[in-house]
């Protein structure tokens, strides 16, 4: 045991004195010390119930012979941070979470960990820490929010975001907007569609780092408490069997996760987080791998915002394991990968049928023969860019139009709200990348405004920033290299023709090669005066195409 180094010998008497100061008994000190990384706080709706999850995990650990000890991890609510300076502090917390968890775990000699995350950067940050520490570790999330209901229809966070655009366009009254506001988010939990938090919690299952139901059992269900107890028991089994995160998170496991990602139609943010987690495992994932997997993986789900089903529906249909069961019919998964259950993927999914073909399409009848995410390349994005193909209207899969160029999100939002964006336009938002933002802000407000104002079938948006999982439409993000690093998105001028061809995985600026080279030669990226953590982050962060990891 790691903790034996600080608790066994007479020389460790000072350490044991401090354990006694915590109220630990001799019996508790003698057992494996299991750190419970609690992301509980009172500002993130997806985290307000995590104290209950943590209590259940503690009970499970104790029942299985361990000593549970809680320490915290921070989390930002992307919805509350959206549309202002706060969003610059969302992605950057991923590394703070990984670093602080590493510090706490190693400083205190824990033998194992149970991670209790839920929201967008909190999950990948803790997965990065798990890979880095390589202690026996199980994940159990806080669970998804229940869908809301307005006019007899289920709703989610994207519904209220798009309702603002409808209100600004005069399509709904202020009273109806207020109804959406009060009914869209009816419970604690991560927002109810296949947004970033739920995407990452589902992919945690696919990676093998969470038990069945981790990504789909609703936050308010008692089954979530049972799952947490089982997670506490499972980590003690991992300690006994010496199963560690890098035994689980292998190259094959990441390919499984990308395959499930394509079938589910996850958030485009997964294309930032999976490479960053893999990087901590000394595994490199590039965007080209994503397209190769997408080409052979059918898209089986259209969960909100792509469709009208929600994570609670996915749970009732059999959850992530049922999707994996469908994928395995065509041999698309490596079923030999180890998981936190102590069993292989194949053993886990052997008896997990699809219970609702309306929610999870049978693999013989997919929404499309290719995956839900596409990586586009071309002279505008030579390192790549990302789009959620499954959430794009058929008529927008191929689009060409004049660029409307903005140097930040706020300027684009003002133009959209003022009615200055017209059918056929391609909105270009730059200097919002990992370095240029800094922090690679999500663009849910402008994308929702475009949809809400009825322009979703005629206007595209591209950015070196990124999108919320709640975004839908022809929205291409992660354009790399970013403008702040001298990327071609920085040379686009008002009125230039931009071509987007999602089936062909291409994005092009339609100017001559001579003009392109001339502009690139004379281009000097704009600089921002930065202070504090954002200054350090901007100096260290890599391209979005490489997962925005810190160098």
Respond yes or no: is residue 468 known to be catalytic: yes
Round to whole Å and give the CA distance between 228 and 393: 39
Name, in order, each residue with C-beta under 8 angstroms of 475's C-beta and a sequence gap of 6 or more.
387, 388, 443, 447, 460, 461, 462, 463, 467
Task: Determine the Cα angle at 388 with ends 382 and 389, to 5°.
Answer: 95
Round to whole Å and give the CA distance between 462 and 500: 10
Round to whole Å and give the CA distance between 265 and 302: 7
CA distances from 551 to 103, 123, 127, 235, 382 (A): 18, 21, 18, 31, 21
Question: Which residue, 298, 310, 345, 309, is CA-closest to 325?
Answer: 345
Round to whole Å and give the CA distance between 185 and 8: 50
Q: What's 11's DSSP letter?
A: G
Task: Determine the Cα angle at 161 with ends 157 and 165, to 5°.
Answer: 155
Round to whole Å and give the CA distance between 159 and 179: 11
Structure tokens at 103: 């510090």
Question: Which residue, 491, 489, 497, is CA-closest to 399?
Answer: 497
Count the alpha carbons within 13 Å of 200 in the hemisphere toward its beta carbon. Answer: 34
User: Coil, helix or strand for 489?
Assistant: helix
Given 3, 468, 480, 543, the catalytic residue: 468
Is the distance from CB of 194 to CB of 216 less than 8 angstroms?
no
Measure the N-to-C terminal CA separation of the chain; round to a whole number of Å.
Answer: 32
Question: How many other CB atoms are there within 10 angstroms of residue 14's CB atom?
Answer: 8
Structure tokens at 65: 């012979």
Round to whole Å and give the CA distance between 443 and 82: 8
Round to whole Å and give the CA distance between 184 and 524: 44
Question: How many other CB atoms are there within 10 angstroms of residue 221's CB atom?
Answer: 17
> Known catalytic residues?
468
């Amino acid at each position: 045991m790691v903790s034996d180094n600080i608790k066994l010998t007479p020389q460790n008497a000072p350490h044991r004195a401090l354990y006694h100061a915590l109220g630990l008994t001799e019996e508790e000190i003698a057992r494996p010390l299991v750190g419970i990384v609690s992301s509980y706080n009172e500002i993130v709706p997806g985290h307000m119930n995590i104290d209950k999850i943590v209590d259940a995990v503690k009970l499970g650990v104790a029942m299985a012979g361990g000593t549970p000890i809680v320490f915290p991890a921070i989390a930002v609510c992307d919805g509350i941070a959206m549309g202002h300076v706060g969003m610059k502090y969302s992605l950057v917390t991923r590394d703070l979470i990984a670093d602080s968890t590493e510090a706490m775990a190693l400083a205190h000699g824990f033998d194992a960990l149970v991670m209790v995350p839920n929201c967008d950067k909190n999950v990948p940050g803790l997965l990065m820490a798990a890979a880095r520490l390589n202690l026996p570790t199980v994940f159990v999330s806080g669970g998804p929010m229940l869908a809301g209901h307005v006019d007899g229809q289920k709703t989610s966070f994207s519904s209220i975001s798009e309702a603002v655009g409808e209100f600004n366009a005069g399509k709904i009254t202020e009273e109806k907007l207020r109804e959406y506001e009060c009914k869209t988010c009816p419970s604690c939990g991560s927002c109810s569609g296949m947004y970033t938090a739920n995407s990452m919690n589902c992919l945690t299952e696919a990676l093998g780092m969470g038990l069945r139901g981790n990504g789909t059992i609703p936050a308010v269900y008692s089954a979530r408490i049972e799952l947490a107890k089982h997670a506490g028991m499972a980590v003690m089994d991992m300690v006994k069997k010496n199963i560690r995160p890098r035994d689980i998170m292998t190259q094959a496991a990441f390919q499984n996760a990308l395959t499930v990602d394509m079938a589910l139609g996850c958030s485009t943010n997964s294309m930032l987080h999976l490479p960053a987690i893999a990087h901590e495992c000394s595994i490199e994932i590039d965007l080209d791998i994503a397209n190769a997997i997408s080409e052979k993986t059918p898209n089986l789900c259209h969960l909100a915002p792509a469709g009208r089903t929600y994570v609670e529906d996915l749970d009732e249909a059999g959850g992530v394991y049922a999707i994996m069961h469908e994928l395995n019919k065509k041999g698309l998964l490596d079923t030999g990968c180890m998981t936190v259950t102590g069993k292989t993927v194949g053993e886990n999914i052997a008896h997990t049928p699809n219970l609702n073909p309306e929610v999870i399409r049978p693999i013989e009848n997919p929404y499309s023969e290719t995956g839900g995410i596409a990586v586009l390349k071309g002279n505008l994005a030579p390192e790549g860019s990302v789009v959620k193909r499954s959430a794009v209207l058929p008529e927008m899969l191929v689009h060409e139009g004049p660029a409307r160029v903005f140097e930040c999100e706020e300027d684009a939002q003002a133009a959209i709200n003022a009615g200055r964006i017209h059918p056929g336009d391609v909105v270009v938002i730059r200097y919002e990348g990992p370095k240029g933002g800094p922090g690679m802000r999500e663009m849910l407000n402008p994308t929702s405004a475009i949809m809400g104002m009825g322009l979703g079938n005629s206007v595209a948006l591209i950015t070196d920033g990124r999108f919320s999982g709640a975004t839908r439409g022809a929205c291409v993000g992660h354009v790399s290299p970013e403008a702040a690093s001298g990327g071609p998105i920085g040379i686009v001028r008002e009125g230039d023709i931009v071509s987007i061809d999602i089936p062909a995985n291409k994005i092009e600026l339609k100017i001559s090669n001579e003009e392109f080279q001339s502009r690139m030669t004379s281009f000097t990226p704009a600089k921002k005066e930065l202070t504090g953590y954002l200054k350090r982050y901007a100096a260290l962060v890599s391209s979005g195409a490489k997962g925005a990891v810190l160098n």
